[in-house]
Structure formats: structure tokens, C-alpha cells
Amino acid sequence: MDVMSEKSAKSLVKPIISFRNVVKKFGSMVAVDNVSLDIEPGEFFALLGPSGCGKTTLLRMLAGFEVPTDGQVLIDGQDMGATSPNQRPVNMVFQSYAVFPHMTVAKNVGYGLKIDGVPAQDIETRVQEALELVQLGHLAGRMPDQLSGGQRQRVALARALIKKPKVLLLDEPLSALDAKLREAMRFELSQLQQKVGITFIMVTHDQDEALAIASRIAVMHKGGISQLGTPSDLYEFPASRFVADFIGSVNMFEGTLLKDEPDEALIGCPELAPHAIHLPHSAPGNVNAPVWVAIRPEKMNLHKNSDEPPPVRDCPAAHNVCKGVIKEISYLGDTSIFHVQLANGRLVRVSRPNRSRYDQDNYGWGETVWVSWSGSSPVVLLS
């Protein structure tokens, strides 16, 4: 059935990029391990992962700087094989921007056209257009060393976009910018992508960046793709402990599936004993087999101390709760993170938005509290 749906999906939209069983080895080190991936036209796609996961190698195979050891890379249906970088219909924005220091902004942006033998007059108008697109029209005559980091990045963007590539590749595009500028550029990048309508593929290790910009994300780990999906898919329905942990922060509990029925499941976690986790739906895995439960800090609630555990909606009494002492409070302005230590020493992170300027509950350091979560919050993981 999977094969059927894949086929029908393929007939609808022809992928602009296809990796087919791609393997890349550097000596004995396997950088990319049998990756198959289709990227559709018009997507803002992000390859997300920690350093050394193979995401940059994948991008460099698209640009033609690396040749796959095995498998195929297709761009717009054409097998790229060992096609050299200057023959490929893709352009790249490099991590260091790689703006040519000895050329003016206009010369930098026009370089690709000049190499292609475009007449000088056409180059001039197209360079001006490209610079307007990234709002640098007034700086055409400047040298790169007179530009700020953000401006240099725009030059790199204009220089790559002027060749009207089928796909724009971005290698860690925002990592060299400071925090405020990074946030502004996130917005601008997605605006730019919508304006030019070209497929963007971005490599990043910054999960916030990927969540904020990308329409679809592939989370990579040890040379393979751990999970592929939209940002909210990955955040709310992680498929593995690695993805749950890598994207956002999470409280992970190890436990055993005690009961699994169509409308109810029960998981016992030694760290949460005597309380258990109750789900209003069935859980993956076999009864009595080990499972992991992931709960996001913002999906947990704090309650003032009392003898009886606080009631949780849609859930039998004394389930989905635990009791502990606030060990530390990180005040971040918009939210506060509470580190609650359970009797057995386990720390649980609970985050609360600071909705009003004066917190009525006023939780303090050392205070004993109850922590609860609704039955729909936990994600049960098998790997």
C-alpha cells in the first residue's frame, strides 16, 4: 500500500531533487548512509542535524563538490552523475558567503553572468534587479570589506539568485549573524523564497531556524534521515528519542507498557512511581515491553502543594502527576523554566509563559509543587 501511495504522489508532482540510495564514504568513514529523499518544487526544505550527521555532504553532492560513492542524485529528473559544479542548474550560498574580496558588489553579483558570456549591458540591468531584490541597490559600487555581515550575505544571495537556478542551496546561512539580525533574516529569507518561487534547500544545525523557516525538514543523524516532516510534525510527533531530544527540549521517561487498549493505555515509569502515565488512546509497542515517554516542558503544569494530587482532565485520579521541589527557576522574560526535583532525584523541566507582569501563583525556589500533564501530551517512543 505504501508503494501505491508513493507512486500516485509521484505522478502528481515531479520532484525537483531526488536522492536515490545515496551513499558517500570518505575512506572508511560513511558520511551519508543510503539516503533516499524527494524534494518537491517550491519547497523551502531544511536538512537539520548535529555536526557530522552528513547534512553538508548531502548538500555538497547537489552542488557537485562531492560525488556519491553509490546511488543517484537527480536534479529535475536528470541524473547528475559526476557532472561538474559549473554545469549544474543549482547555485549555492556558502557558509562564509565566499564573496570575492577583490571585486565590487556589482562585479560579485554579475560574475556568474559574465562567465556565461552574457552581454555587458544585460549584466548591468540584471545585477541592478538582483541587488534591488535583496535591497542592496545603493551599494553596487562598494567593496566587500566595506559591508556588514548581513550585507555580505545579501550579496551572496543576489549572486546565486541572478543565475535563476532551479534550486538554491544554503549552507548554514544564518550561523554567522548575531541573534537579532538572524531573526530578521529568517523572515526575509522566507519572504524572498516566496517572491522568487525557487526551491530552497537549507542546511542547518539550529532547530529554531529550521522550524521557523522551512516548510519541510529532514532530521539527519549518523548519515541517515531520522525523520521527515513538517515542523509541527517533528515537534509534536517525534518518531524517535533522538528527534524528540534534538528538536526542542523534552522530559524523557523510561517505562514499561502495562496496558494497551483501543481507548486507553497505561505506562509505568519507575522514576514517576507511585504514579503512572495514562493515555486516552492506544500506544505503540507490546504490553510489558520497554517504551520511552517524551513530554514537552510547556505541556506540563505546576500546582501548589496539597495532600491529594491535583485532578487531571480525562484521566483517572493520581495519574499523569508527580511531586517535587523547585530546585531552580530560569527567568527568560517571555517564559520561565522551572526545574522540579522529584523525591528520587530526577529533574523535570516545566515551562510557563509569563502572561502577566505579576504572577499570582508566585512559585519560589524550594517550594514543593505538583506537576501534571494531560493524557494527550506524552509521546510514546520505541526507539
Partner 1 sequence: MADRPAPLEYNRTWPMRLWLGGVFFFLYAPLIALMAFSFNDSKRTIVWRGFTFDHYKKLFNNNELMLAFANSLTIAFITTLISVVLGALAAVMLWRFRFRFKGAIEGALALPIVVPEICMGVAMLVFFARVMPWPNDLIWPFSLGAIIIAHVSFCFPFVTMVVRARLASFNKEQEEAARDLGASDWEAFRDVLLPHMKPALIAGALLSFTLSLDDFVITFFTSGPNTVTFPVKVYSMVRFSVTPEVNAASTMLIVLTVVLMALMMLGQRKSTTAK
Q: What is the binding site for partner 1 (CB under 8 A)?
A: 63-65, 84-86, 90-92, 94-96, 98-104, 111-112, 115-116, 143, 156, 159-160, 163
Q: From residue 71, give the alpha-carbon distance in Å to each of 34, 39, 225, 369.
A: 8, 16, 16, 55
Residue closer to partner 1 (CB basis): 77 or 101: 101
Return the number of the residue (94 or 363) whose C-beta is nearest partner 1: 94
Distance CA 268, CA 280 (A): 15
On the CB side of 67, CA atoms within 13 Å amount to 7
| CB nearer to partner 1: pick between 15 and 112 | 112
Task: Give the nearer residue to partner 1 in terms of CB position, either 95 or 256.
Answer: 95
Residues forming a β-bridge with 169: 92, 201
The grid coordinates listed for 276 are 503512572
Beta carbon of residue 121, minimum distance to partner 1 (angstroms, whole number): 19
Q: Choose among 249, 225, 259, 292: nearest CA to 45.
A: 225
| Least distance to partner 1, CB of residue 280, Å | 52
User: Whose Cβ is closer to partner 1: residue 145's or residue 308's?
Assistant: 145
Closest distance to partner 1 from the beta carbon of 217 (Å): 24
Nearest distance in Å: CB 231, partner 1: 28
Looking at the Cβ atoms of 84 and 354, the one nearer to partner 1 is 84
Give the residue with the Cβ less far from partner 1, 130 or 295: 130
Give me the helix-helix angle, 149-161 and 105-115, nearest 10°: 20
Comparison of 13 and 115: residue with beta carbon closer to partner 1: 115
What single-letter amino acid sits at 374? S
Q: What is the C-alpha to C-alpha distance for residues 293 and 250, in angstroms, rounded to an integer? A: 10
CA–CA distance, 377 with 299 (Å, rounded to integer): 6
Q: Could you identify the residue written with the cell 530578521?
A: 184
CB of 266 to partner 1, least distance (A): 54
Question: Got the DSSP string for 224-284?
Answer: EEEEEE-HHHHHHS-SSHHHHHHSS--EEEEEEEEEEETTEEEEE-GGGTT-BEEESS--S
Q: How far is the CB of 244 from partner 1 (least distance, A)?
A: 34
Nearer to partner 1, 57 or 91 (CB): 91
Report the C-alpha gap between 119 and 224 in whole angstroms: 45
Closer CB to partner 1, 163 or 241, in the complex: 163
Contact 370, 302 (CB under 8 A): yes
Report d(CA 319, CA 327) in Å as an integer: 23
Please report how close the Cβ of residue 12 comes to partner 1 at its closest, in angstroms. 31
Residue 93 CB, shortest distance to partner 1, in Å, is 9
Beta strands 70-75; 78-79: pairing state: antiparallel
Pull the grid cell for residue 60. 555538497
Q: Shortest Cβ distance from residue 168 to partner 1 (Å)?
A: 11
43: left (phi over 0), alpha (psi -120 to 50) or beta: beta
β-pairing, 29-39 vs 17-26, is antiparallel
Query: What is the distance, to the nearest Å, from the Cα of residue 285 to the centroid of all Cα atoms in its chain?
Result: 27
Residue that is written with C-alpha cell 507498557 in the block: 257
Q: How far is the CB of 61 from partner 1 (least distance, A)?
A: 13
